[in-house]
A and B are shown apart, each in its own frame.
Chain A
Amino acid sequence: MPQIFHPRVNGLTRILLAGGALAIVAFACVAWFLNRSPYSTGQGAVPEQPVPFSHQHHVGGLGIDCRYCHTGVDRSRFAGLPDTHTCMSCHSQLWTEAQMLAPVRESLKEDRPLRWMRVHRLPDFVYFDHRAHVTRGIGCESCHGRVDRMPLMSQAAPMTMQWCLDCHRNPQKALRAPDRITAMGAPAASDPNALLRRYRIHTDRMTECVTCHR
């Protein structure tokens, strides 16, 4: 039988094979980094809101507690967003002429809710519960960052599974006393293990899949 391939083809095959392998590795690397990049986790993005509400002014400047507006945070899964009535409890008297607040006044007059855009959004197959965290010593700051320095709300943490697990494997570092949950810039607790016992946190169950996927 005559030779089909010229001996030189051997070299070419090697180059092609090596090139192919390199391409696969490069593709995997790009996919790996893209998956964790702020582009796909939504970290840092600032969606446009109907009213440019500033946490910096209301939380940092006026010192209003998160729970004045996010009332559900310590009693349900969902933190809740303030209704128009809540804004108007102050803005019925303050900044009543401001153009910026026109949508809020219209919303009250026409009995039509404001449409805030979601900043954080976990996939629907993930179960998350604010109450479980907030009543067991995890402060808002651990997950939402320095909210009191945000003129406009953005997502501070990547909110990937890796990120959740980093804390669930080792929650001691993040624990705070119960009166410091909504505080910003609070110093770390002096004796985290005492807090761990006080909140009766069972670290053995926190990394099971069924905790977050149920």
Chain B
Amino acid sequence: MVSEDERVAVRPGLTPLHWLLLVSVFIIATCGLIYELVAGTLASYLLGDSVTQFSTIIGAYLFSMGIGSWLSKYLDGNLIKWFIRIEILVGLVGGCSAPLLFVLFEYVASFRLILYTLVGLTGILVGLEIPLLMRILENQLTFKDLVSRVFTFDYIGALLASLIFPLILIPQLGLIRTSLFFGLLNIGVAAFLLYRFSETRSFRHSFSFILLASVGLLTTGFVYADRIMTYAEGLAFQDTVIYSKSTAYQRIVLTRNNRELRLYLNGNLQFSSADEYRYHEALVHPAMQARPFASNILVLGGGDGLAVRELLKYPSVQRVTLVDLDPGMTKLFQQNFTLVQLNNRSLLSPNVRVINNDAFTWIRQDTTRYDVVIVDFPDPSNYSIGKLYSTTFYTELEKRLAPDGLAVVQSTSPYIARKSFWCIKNTLAAVGFQTIPYHTYVPSFGEWGYVLALRNQHWRVGGPLPKGLRYVTPSTIRDMLYFPPDMAEVPTEVNKLNNQVLVQSFEEEWAPYGH
């Protein structure tokens, strides 16, 4: 047995090179913490509920670091080589984590799985770093010096990270660039070690190529960070995300601030709780007040149950059939506490039947006749939805109306998409409907249009309205009928399955607004 003192005597002490190794501990530590913060911030930003997100991310990250530390004992041989490898990997995985998570958020079904996999992977790699370094330095220092120096640098790095992250990095660089930048730092450490340690000569050449490629990748990401951000288009939310889910059909995101709740489908705003009553009252009541005895109602689209909420205000209504493509959407509005409050439990009413099916397929098979049909489809922004605004669809719609029945169709903005709005009106007219176009102002949408489609001339203002409406009165309805010159009727073609003119004009008209 050799004594403590004897052991000290054989340690050569730190060369300048080893000092630099310790400085890299500092950089590594900063990077490590930054990745953790990036993941935590991103998770609470995208998934909402920041306390839960942060604590689970930190927990998972630390635990993975533990795994990494434990795994470190299996790494043998050329330790410097291992260390450089790990650095490159940390740089790539950690560095790309933010851009990857941003982009993937929109497109993968199980975002959490990816998130925690990335966090775990980064954690494991970061967990490998310190034990490895300590083993590299093990022959240069006594154990107590080694531990004290390494951890001092480690914790200083952590402090620095925790300060610059909220104060400088997020405001100046943003999440994506921050993560890429620190990835570059890790790669820098790897490069530095590669060229300063003579032991690396045998693999310098092959590693140089990888280093170069990695730097290239991260730098490109850094330069194009804004594009990556726009690519992850649905993430232009200014508010806290409280719910998000990718269904087979769309990505549903719900955000909240202290004033309102917003629902986005594929990044497009569907409603804001602050003013959705305007949209939905205007959608439902001009039709319903003209048919005081309407009892059997069909709603197409509108899986949020908000139009149904308005319908259920009429005692005459006995049965509402709602057809929406996406079960994910209707379930959400049947189960989520806040949303169920918002639609007043409308989709849970025993008088309401919810059907998840494609509206076109369904309406061709249906045989019931309805007193009123509310058509609340998404805007005609692509060919699949454009079909639901065609003469063929409206012909099927007409067959489903009672002799005295009427339908109302949400018809995009007559201000922004003037041609599209009048095209919908003309398409309804082309299959024989009497049409009554009207519009209203919804602050979060702007000027919005609807078209009433009647099987006969029989429509008037002044019918009974339910109590407690916040927007629609007989005078509101009269006002809505007037179109000022900048929204006045323009001649348009009729939208048919074999020309789909509506999709084209809609695209043109909304393009400047980045719809």
A and B, one complex? no
Interface residues of A (CB under 8 A from B): none
Interface residues of B (CB under 8 A from A): none
